[in-house]
Amino acid sequence: MTSTSDSRQSNQTRVYVRETSVVFLKTNERFGGLSNMAPGFPLRVNGARIRTSEALYQACRFPHMPEVQQLIIGENSPMTAKMRSKPYRRVSRQDWDFVRVKIMRWCLRVKLAQNWREFGRLLLATGERPIVEQSSKDDFWGAKDSDDGTLVGMNVLGRLLMELREQLKGDEAESLRFIEPLAITEFLLFGQPIEAVQAAPNAEIPGWPPRRPSHVDADPAPPSDPQPSLFEQPMIAETKSADAKPPVEAVKRRNEPVRFPRYRDSGLPWLGEVPEHWDVRRNGRLFAERVETGFEKLPILEVSLRTGVRVRDMENGARKQQMTDRSKYKRAAKGDIAYNMMRMWQGAVGVAPVDGLISPAYVVARPFSEVDPRYYSYLFRTPAYMREVNKFSRGIVSDRNRLYWDEFKQMPSAFPPTEEQTRIADVLDSHGRLTARLIRNKRRLIGLLNEQKQAIIIRAVTRGVNPDAPIKPTGIDWMPEVPAHWEVKRLKYLTKFSNGIAFKPADWKDEGVPIIRIENLNGGDHFNYTDRTDLPENMLIQTGDLVFAWSGNRGTSFGSFEWTRDFPAYLNQHIFKLEGYDFHRKYFYYLLRAVTKHVEDNAHGIIGLVHITKPALGAIFVPVADANEQGEIANKIDEDLDELNQAAEKVHAEIRLIEEYRERLIADVVTGKLDVRHIEIVSPSDESTADEDDALEEDLEGDDAEVMEGADADN
C-alpha cells in the first residue's frame, strides 16, 4: 500500500526533454547563475552580507542556533556552506520538511530583489522553456538522467524558478521588489526576526517596462499541512499593508534625487537658493576651535587632498618619518573637522577618524551637537566653497594665504536640519562606496589591458619582427635570447637621465607653466603651475619627449612615458627626463616600456609603491636592435596595440565621467539643489570608500608629504 506522502511525491514527478528545456548543472554554464551555488549574486538580510542563496537557505534551517548560522554564512563558497550545515541537520528546525519549499521560494525572491538586473535578465532569457536543475542524486530539488535521455524528478527548484519567471513577466513584477518575511514561526537570523527585503530603487531590467503591482491571492497553507502542492502558496500575502507595495510612480521617484518642493534665496551668491526649511549659519555657530596639547602618545593624523583625514603610517609608508617633538601637536578628537590653513582651498579638510595629533599649522574644529561633521566635510570640499575659502584667507602674498580660525568662523555655511545632514552624509558615503568599487573594477580592467600590451611590447623589442632571424643567448633573465645581430648594452650608455625639480608649495601658482606629476603622465588633468624664472631650460618638457617615472605605483604609474600634451611643462622630482639618445624615438620608448616590468621586480619600496635610483636604472642591460629595424619594430607595435589602446582610453574616459558625476552630485546635494531623503541606501556599509589604489596614488603624488612639510616648516 502506498503512503500518502509517497503518493504526493509521485504525483509531483515530472519528465523533461533536455533539448527543449533550460538545463543547468554547473555554475559556469550559460544558465549556471540559476543555481543556488552560483557566485556573483550576493544578498543582504538584516544587514548581514550573505554570499549566495544556498548559504541563506542552509542558515534558515537553524533559527534556534545562531552560532551555526554564523558558521554557514561565514564560509567563502556555497559548497562549504552547505557542507558546514551537514553535521547539524539532525537538529534542524522541527518543521523543516513542511517549510523548506516556502523558504527556498523566499530565498529565490530575495536573490532576485537584490540582484534585480542580473538575475532578472537571466530568468527572462529562459523564455517559455522548462527550467530544470540536473542532479545525479537529488530528484526532489532537481531531476535525474533516465535511460531514454530524459530528465525525471520533482524538479522543485526548477519549478520555483519558472514560477518566479512568470511573476516577473506578469502583473506581479513590481510586487517582487518588496519581499515580506515568511509567515512562519521562528523565522530568525542571528536571533533576530528576519525583516523585509527590498530591491534597489534604481534597479531596472532593460527592455522591461515597469508594471503596476497586483494583489496576490491565497494565504500560505498552515504548517500542519505537509505541503500537498508545491506551488499553491504565494510568497506575499494579500494582507500586506498598502505602503509595503508602493505604486510605480513612488518607485520611480526613489530611483533618483529630485528637487525640493519649495526654495528660498540664501542671500549668498555662491550658495544660491536653498530649501525653504534650511538655515544659513556662520561656522562659529557650528564649530568651536579645539586647541589641546600634551597628548603625545596619540597617532599622527594627516590631511589628504583626496580622502580627507587619515592616520599617518609612521613605519611602512613611502615617506617614513620619525617625529621626536610632538609637544606642539594639537589633539583632534574623533569626529572633529581638521583643515590645513594654507591648502583648504584645495580640499585639505576632513573628519578625524580617531583621536590623534594634528600639525600646529592646522586648525581643529569641534562640531556642536546639532552638527554632523561628515556633511560639512563634503560641503567644505565643493568647488564653490573652496573658492569662498580663498576670499576669507589672508597673507602677505596670495600663494601663502591662510584661512585662520577667526576667518573660518565668520564664513557662512548651509545648515540643514541635523537628521537631514546625517541622511545626506549617509547617502553620499554609500554612493562613494559604489563609485569606488566601480572605478576599482575599471582600473583592474585597464590593468589587464596593460598586461596584454606589455607582453606584445616585450616580444617585439626582444625578438624583432622577423620570426626566422637567428638568435643568441644573453644570460639575462628577462630577455634570455635576442636576434644574433643585435647588441646588448647597459642603459647608462644609451641615454642620460636628468632629475626633475623638487617643487615646494610656495612654487605652486594658479597660472604659469604646468608642473608634471605622476598623475598627469597617467592622464590626470589637474595641474599645479609655477612662475619661477630660475629653472633650467632643459627641464622644460616638450611634446614627444620621453620621461621615466622612477617612483610610482607598480603596474600603472612607474616607468617610461611619452609626453603627448601639446604644451610644455616642468617635471617634478619623481620623474627623469631622457636626453642624448641616438635611437628611433618611438622604438626607444617601447624599449623602456619593455624593461619596466624588470625594473619593478628589482626596485626598492613597499608593497604597491616602488622606486629605483639613477645608478641602478643605468646598470640594466637592454637589447639594442639594428638601426634599420627600429622603425619597423615601433610601427608593428603601434599596429598591434591600437585596439588595446582604444579600449583602455574608453575605460579611462568612463572613469573621468564617473568622477565628474560624483563631484557634481555632491555639490548639488550638499547645497540643497537635490533632495536625497527618499533614496534607499544599498551600498555595503563595511566596504571602504577609498581603496588601496587611491592611497597609493596619493602617496605617489606627494600631496600629503607636501602638505605636512609645508605646514611644519612654517612653525
Give me the percent of the chain exceeding a pLDDT of 90: 37
- Where is average pLDDT lowest: 32-36, 134-138, 666-670? 134-138
Residue 122 has pLDDT above 50, yes or no: yes
pLDDT at site 60: 94
Whether 202 and 304 map to the same domain: the answer is: no
| 612 is a domain residue | no
pLDDT of res. 247: 44
Q: Is residue 545 in some structural domain?
A: no
20 within a domain of the structure (yes/no) = yes
Sign of the C-alpha dihedral computed for residues 234, 239, 244 and 249 taken in this order: positive
Domain boundary among 232, 254, 276: 254
- The residue that leads in pLDDT, 246 or 287, is 287
Q: Say yes or no: 239 and 309 in one domain.
A: no
User: In percent, how much of the chain has pLDDT > 70?
Assistant: 81
Q: Which residue has the higher pLDDT, 505 or 436?
A: 436
pLDDT band for 574, please (50, 70, 90 cuts). confident
Strand order in the sheet with 337-340: 287-289, 362-367, 337-340, 349-351
Number of domains present in the structure of the chain: 2
Highest mean pLDDT among 235-244, 407-416, 600-609: 407-416
Range in 185-194, 224-233, 537-546 with the lowest mean pLDDT? 224-233
227 pLDDT exceeds 50? no
On whether the CB atoms of residues 243 and 237 are closer than 8 A, the answer is no
Tell which of 254, 283, 311 closes a domain.
Answer: 254
Q: Which grid cell is 116?
A: 534585480
CA separation for the pair 236, 175 (Å, rounded): 8
Residues 222, 271, single domain; the answer is no
**What do you get for the CA distance between the two ends of the chain, in Å?**
96
Co-location of 280 and 216 in the same domain = no
Say what the pTM is: 0.56
Lowest mean pLDDT among 58-72, 167-181, 618-632: 167-181
Query: For 249-260, what is the mean pLDDT?
Result: 63
Own/partner pairs for 369-374, CB < 8 Å, 24+ apart?
370/418, 371/286, 371/287, 371/418, 371/421, 372/418, 372/421, 372/422, 372/425, 373/335, 373/336, 373/337, 374/421, 374/422, 374/425, 374/429
pLDDT for 282: 96
Cα separation, 57 vs 73, whole angstroms:
10
Cβ atoms of 677 and 260 within 8 Å: the answer is no
- Cell numbers given for 504: 615646494
- Compute the mean pLDDT over every residue in the chain, rounded to the nearest whole number: 81
Give the CATH number of the domain where residue 103 resides.
Answer: 1.10.357.40
Residues 201-211, mean pLDDT to the nearest whole number: 50
Residue 556: its pLDDT value, please? 65
SS3 assignment, position 206: coil
Choosing from 254, 285, 304, the residue where a domain stops is: 254
Show contacts of 525-534: CB within 8 Å, 24+ apart. 527/569, 528/503, 530/503, 530/570, 532/507
- How many angstroms separate the CA atoms of 331 and 339, rounded? 13
pLDDT tens profile 414-471: 999 999 999 999 999 999 998 988 999 888 888 888 888 888 998 999 999 988 899 9
pLDDT of residue 695: 45
> Once rounded to an integer, what is the mean pLDDT over residues 567-596?
86
Same-domain pairing of 250 and 270: no
* The dihedral sign for the CA sequence 403, 409, 414, 419: positive
Whether 139 and 222 map to the same domain: the answer is yes
List helix spans (H) across 45-128.
Answer: 53-59, 66-73, 78-85, 96-114, 116-124
Residue 678 confidence (pLDDT) = 87
By CB atoms closer than 10 A (0-12, 13-18, 19+), residue 491 is buried
Whether residue 331 lies inside any domain: the answer is: yes
**Choice among 99-108, 313-322, 667-676 with the minimum mean pLDDT:** 313-322
What would the mean pLDDT of 125-153 be, rounded to a whole number? Answer: 91
Lowest-confidence pick of 180-194, 241-255, 666-680: 241-255
Question: Any idea which of 101-115, 217-231, 469-483 has the lowest mean pLDDT?
Answer: 217-231
Model pLDDT, residue 45:
92
Of the pLDDT bands very low, low, confident and very high (cuts 50, 70, 90), residue 315 is low
**pLDDT value for 472:** 92
pLDDT, residue 183, reads 87
Residue range(s) defining the domain that contains residue 211? 4-254
Report in angstroms the alpha-carbon separations of 567 from 73, 513, 564. 56, 9, 9
- Min mean pLDDT across 64-68, 143-147, 223-227, 259-263 is at 223-227
pLDDT above 50 for 166:
yes
Q: Is the pLDDT of residue 597 over 80?
A: no
Is residue 421 assigned to a domain?
yes
308 & 223 share domain: no
3-state secondary structure at position 622: strand
Per-residue pLDDT band for 682 (boundaries 50, 70, 90) equals low
Q: Which CATH number covers residue 287?
A: 3.90.220.20
The three-point CA angle 693-330-307 to 5° equals 20
What would you report as the CA-atom Rg of the chain, rounded to the nearest whole angstrom? 32
Q: Which of the four pLDDT bands, split at 50, 70 and 90, describes residue 555?
A: low
Taking alpha carbons only, the member of 288, 342, 287, 340 closest to residue 309 is 340
Residue 374 located in a structural domain:
yes
- The mean pLDDT of 626-642, rounded to a whole number, is 92
Do 209 and 61 reside in the same domain of the chain? yes
Place of cell 530544470: 132
For the range 9-12, what are the long-range contacts, defined as Cβ-Cβ under 8 Å and sequence gap of 24 or more? 9/140, 9/154, 12/154, 12/156, 12/230
Is it the case that residue 352 has pLDDT exceeding 90? yes
Banded model confidence at residue 201, pLDDT cuts 50, 70, 90: low
C-alpha dist (Å) from residue 480 to 349, 626, 656:
51, 18, 40
Q: Report if residue 412 sits inside a domain.
A: yes
Is pLDDT of 689 > 50? no
Beta bridge partners of residue 487, listed in sequence order: 624
Q: What mean pLDDT comes out for the span 510-535?
A: 82
The string of DSSP letters for 416-478 reads --HHHHHHHHHHHHHHHHHHHHHHHHHHHHHHHHHHHHHHHHHHHHHH-S-TTS-EEE---TT
Same domain assignment for residues 222 and 274: no
Where does the pLDDT of residue 671 fall: very low under 50, low under 70, confident under 90, or very high at 90 and above? very high
Can you list the pairs that 149-153 forms with residues at least 24 positions away whose Cβ atoms lie under 8 Å?
149/18, 150/15, 150/16, 150/17, 150/18, 151/15, 151/16, 151/18, 151/21, 151/23, 152/13, 152/14, 152/15, 152/16, 153/13, 153/14
Judged by average pLDDT, the poorest of 71-75, 610-614, 685-689 is 685-689
106: cell is 523566499
Nearest-angstrom CA–CA distance, 689 and 440: 11
- What is the rounded distance in angstroms from the CA atom of residue 190 to the CA atom of residue 473? 64
Q: Tell me, what's the pLDDT at 332?
A: 92
Q: 241 pLDDT exceeds 50?
A: no
- Classify residue 382: in a domain, yes or no: yes
Assign 244 a pLDDT band (cuts: 50, 70, 90).
very low
Question: Which H or E element spans position 547?
Answer: strand 546-549
SS3 of residue 267 by DSSP: coil
Query: What pLDDT shows up at residue 61?
Result: 94
* 313 CB burial (10 A radius; 0-12, 13-18, 19+): middle
- Per-residue pLDDT, averaged over 615-644, amounts to 90
Q: Are residues 332 and 200 in the same domain?
A: no
Asked if residue 276 and residue 173 are part of one domain, the reply reads no
Do 220 and 295 lie in one domain? The reply is no
C-alpha cell, 305: 587632498
**Residue 154: what pLDDT?**
92
